[in-house]
């Protein structure tokens, strides 16, 4: 059946050549990539029984060439991933908020979800202390929408200009090839806005037991636009129907020793057993005028929207394991710039950088025509005037490769036009106002249970104890102390630091 499906996918090309293909199970045989039969797949052509191998053995040469080129560039981040197919179904009418058809009651939208770790390489243990990527591709009736996020609602930095530095500091050393807490906390000691995310990362939230038992977040604020052009700001939250379950610090090594592919095996085992994991999609909604009501910048992705209720708008079910890891999980490409009418980008500085960077990295990895790869291809007809490039299979015809043209009936869709947004001020290059770098880290810490606080101290102090630079270590401790005095004091004691010195440094910090 797989072979028949693949032939059907390209049947238009076969028919255009007047070729009739007939496949029968009993006639299936090994072929080259050109489709010609292979007579001997066990022995190379040689010059006599003891002579050298011949260059004219095209089957041998093709096999070796293809083998040499099996790998594509690894993702810089989110390299270790697992994907699954499923369906999203809306459960509420939010037409007053968005004209996006994906939310229309009664619709059913296919999805592909890729879970991942962030910093480690392909094939690394899945139990890393790391955010978990949670990227969803909706194959909607208006084209593809990519909701690209993590399992935590905030991020480490608030401006995309710092993203390459953040990754470099947390990736393996450029000298040793080994991750080094000294490098990571050197960067974080100069990045106080990361305090809240670090607190979450080293809490139970940062070590889910598996992919099914964790939530997902779009992280950034987005805009929803309704049919009247009215705008609301929203945040997306995938809430696991399976509940949230995490590994305690003492359990991580044991889990890794038992099966460092546990997350993938758990997800695929569950789906194969018919125990389909589900997530409900919730949104928080603000009117534009409400953005200013917080004592922090509401478009700062290092912050959650406190005291803003969530409303459920749909449910996603994952129900199919991909047939081919490479063609699905590895070649899947997500970019937050892939939005549909009714969903637009906010002014969030981190999101603004991701709008460019994510699509650009996919073009680098997979080529200009990456959106023609089956896992990335929209279900709707594509009518762009883009052309050519490596691996182009668009099948476009005719000499009209531009728009507008009186010779080709194709038009723009006024309903897809972006909403107008008011601008203010002048161009600038400076930090946002109302940073509040430590506020939410303290609020989060104080909301933890006694056991969860103890586990956070255990996990975070273990890495801080690897920091050999006293300046970086004490700076980090002062951030956590500024967030909450008990938090900082316990970390200082666990890292054999001078609590009085930590407090003195914290007293010099501003949280405005």
CATH number for the domain spanning 161: value is 2.40.180.10
Q: Are residue 466 and residue 341 in the same domain, yes or no? A: no
Domain assignment of residue 138, yes or no: yes
How far is the CA of 26 from the CAs of 3, 21, 23, in angstroms?
13, 15, 9
Residue 168 confidence (pLDDT): 95
Q: Per the domain annotation, does 387 fall within a domain?
A: no
Residues 162 and 253 placed together within one structural domain of the fold: yes
Encode 142-183 in three state secondary structure: CEEEEEEEECCCCCCCCCHHHHHHHHHHHCCCCCCCCCCHHH
Looking at the fold, whether 128 and 266 belong to one and the same domain comes out as yes
| Inside any domain, residue 11 | no
Q: Kindly state whether residue 492 falls inside one of the protein's structural domains.
A: yes
Angle formed by the axes of helices 450-464 and 181-189, nearest 10°: 110
CA distances, 392 to each of 6, 72, 373 (Å): 17, 17, 10
CA distances from 349 to 2, 162, 353, 471, 497 (A): 44, 11, 7, 30, 36
Tell me the C-alpha distance between 168 and 415, whole Å.
Answer: 42
Q: Calculate the alpha carbon distances from 199 to 117, 188, 206, 481 in Å.
A: 18, 12, 9, 12
∠ Cα 160 165 169 (to 5°)? 140
Q: Are residues 317 and 201 in the same domain?
A: yes
* Burial tier of 379 (Cβ tally within 10 Å: 0-12, 13-18, 19+): exposed
| Residue 168 included in any domain | yes
Say whether both 475 and 367 belong to one domain.
no
In degrees and rounded to multiples of 5, residue 439 shows phi and psi of -55, -55
Single residue among 372, 406, 430 that ends a domain in this structure? 372
Tokens 């050999």 -> residue: 468
Domain edge (last residue) among 354, 372, 390: 372
Backbone angles phi, psi at 433, to 5 degrees: -85, 170
Would residue 197 count as lying in a domain?
yes
Quick one: pLDDT at residue 27? 66
pLDDT 10s digit of each residue in the chain, 512 long? Answer: 333 333 333 233 333 334 334 444 456 789 988 888 999 999 999 999 998 999 999 989 888 888 888 899 999 999 999 999 999 999 999 999 999 999 999 999 999 999 999 999 998 999 999 999 999 999 999 999 999 999 999 999 999 999 999 999 999 999 999 999 999 999 999 999 999 999 999 999 999 999 999 999 999 999 999 999 999 999 999 999 999 999 999 999 999 999 999 999 999 999 999 999 999 999 999 999 999 999 999 999 999 999 999 999 999 999 999 999 999 999 999 999 999 999 999 999 999 999 999 999 999 999 999 999 999 999 998 888 788 888 888 888 888 887 787 788 887 788 888 898 888 788 888 899 999 999 999 999 999 999 999 999 999 999 999 999 999 999 999 999 999 999 999 999 999 999 999 999 999 999 98
Q: Do 219 and 353 have their domain in common? A: yes
Residue partners of 202: CB distance under 8 A and separation at least 6:
129, 456, 459, 460, 463
Q: Compute how many other C-beta atoms are within 10 angstroms of the C-beta atom of residue 150.
A: 23
Report residue 138 CA to chain centroid gap.
13
Last residue of a domain, one of 329, 349, 372: 372
pTM: 0.91
CA dihedral 122, 126, 127, 133 (to 10 degrees): 90
* Nearest residue to 358 via CA among 114, 64, 23: 114
Q: What pLDDT shows up at residue 247?
A: 96
pLDDT of residue 350: 95
Q: How many domains does the chain have?
A: 2
- Tell me which residue range forms the domain holding 276: 81-372
Residue 419 within any structural domain of the chain: no
**265 and 124 assigned to the same domain:** yes
Secondary structure (DSSP) of 195-254: HHHHHHHTSGGGSBSSSTTS-EE--S-EEEE-TT--EEEEEEEEEETT---B--HHHHHH
Question: Are 145 and 250 in a shared domain?
Answer: yes
Claim to verify: residue 352 and residue 457 sit in the same structural domain: no
Whether 78 is a known active-site residue: answer: yes
Distance CA 335, CA 341 (A): 16
- Residues 452 and 366 placed together within one structural domain of the fold: no
Q: Answer yes or no: is 308 within a domain.
A: yes
The single residue of 144, 150, 151, 297 carrying the catalytic annotation is 150
Q: Both 348 and 478 in a single domain?
A: no
Mean pLDDT of the chain: 92
Q: What is the predicted pLDDT for the residue at 384?
A: 81
């Amino acid at each position: 059946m797989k072979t028949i499906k693949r032939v059907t996918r390209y049947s238009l090309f076969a028919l255009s050549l007047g070729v009739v293909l007939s496949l029968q199970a009993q006639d299936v045989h090994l072929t080259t990539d050109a489709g010609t039969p292979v007579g001997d797949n066990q022995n190379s052509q040689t010059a006599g029984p003891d002579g050298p191998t011949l260059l004219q053995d095209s089957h041998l040469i093709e096999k070796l060439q293809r083998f040499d080129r099996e790998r594509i560039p690894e993702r810089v981040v989110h390299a270790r991933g697992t994907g699954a197919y499923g369906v999203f179904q809306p459960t509420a009418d939010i037409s007053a908020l968005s004209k996006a058809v994906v939310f229309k009651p009664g619709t059913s939208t296919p999805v592909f979800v890729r879970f991942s770790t962030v910093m480690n390489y392909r094939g690394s243990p899945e139990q890393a202390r790391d955010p978990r990527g949670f990227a969803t591709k909706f194959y909607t009736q208006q084209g593809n929408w990519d909701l690209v996020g993590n399992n935590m609602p905030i991020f480490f930095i608030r401006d995309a200009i710092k993203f390459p530095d953040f990754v470099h500091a947390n990736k393996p050393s450029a000298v040793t090839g080994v991750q080094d807490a000294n490098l990571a906390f050197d960067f974080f000691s100069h990045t106080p806005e990361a305090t809240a995310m670090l607190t979450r990362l080293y809490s139970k939230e940062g070590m889910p037991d598996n992919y099914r038992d964790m939530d997902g977040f779009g992280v950034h604020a987005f805009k929803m636009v309704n049919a009247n052009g009215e705008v609301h700001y929203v945040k997306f939250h995938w809430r696991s129907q399976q509940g949230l379950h995490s590994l305690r610090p003492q359990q991580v090594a044991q889990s890794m020793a038992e099966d460092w592919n546990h997350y993938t095996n758990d997800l695929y085992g569950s789906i194969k057993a018919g125990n389909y994991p589900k997530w409900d999609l919730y949104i928080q909604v603000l009117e534009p005028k409400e953005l200013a009501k917080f004592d922090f910048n509401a478009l700062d992705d290092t912050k959650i929207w406190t005291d803003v209720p969530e409303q459920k708008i749909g449910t996603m079910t994952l129900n199919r394991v991909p047939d081919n890891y490479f063609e699905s999980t590895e070649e899947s490409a997500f970019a937050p710039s892939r939005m549909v009418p009714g969903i637009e980008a906010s002014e969030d500085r981190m999101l603004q950088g991701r709008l460019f960077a994510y699509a650009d990295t996919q073009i680098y990895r997979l080529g200009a025509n990456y959106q023609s790869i089956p896992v990335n291809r929209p279900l709707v007809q594509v009518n762009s005037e883009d052309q050519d490039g490596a691996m182009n299979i668009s099948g476009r015809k005719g000499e009209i490769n531009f728009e507008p043209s009186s010779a080709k009936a194709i038009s723009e869709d006024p309903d897809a036009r972006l909403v107008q947004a008011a601008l203010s001020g002048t161009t600038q290059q400076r930090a946002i106002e109302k940073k509040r770098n430590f506020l939410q880290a303290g609020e989060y810490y104080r909301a933890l249970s006694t056991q969860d606080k103890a586990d956070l101290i255990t996990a975070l102090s273990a890495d801080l104890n690897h920091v050999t630079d006293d300046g970086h270590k004490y700076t980090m401790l002062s951030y956590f102390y500024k967030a909450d005095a008990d938090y900082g004091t316990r970390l200082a004691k666990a890292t054999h630091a001078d609590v009085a010195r930590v407090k003195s440094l914290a007293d010099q910090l501003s949280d405005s």
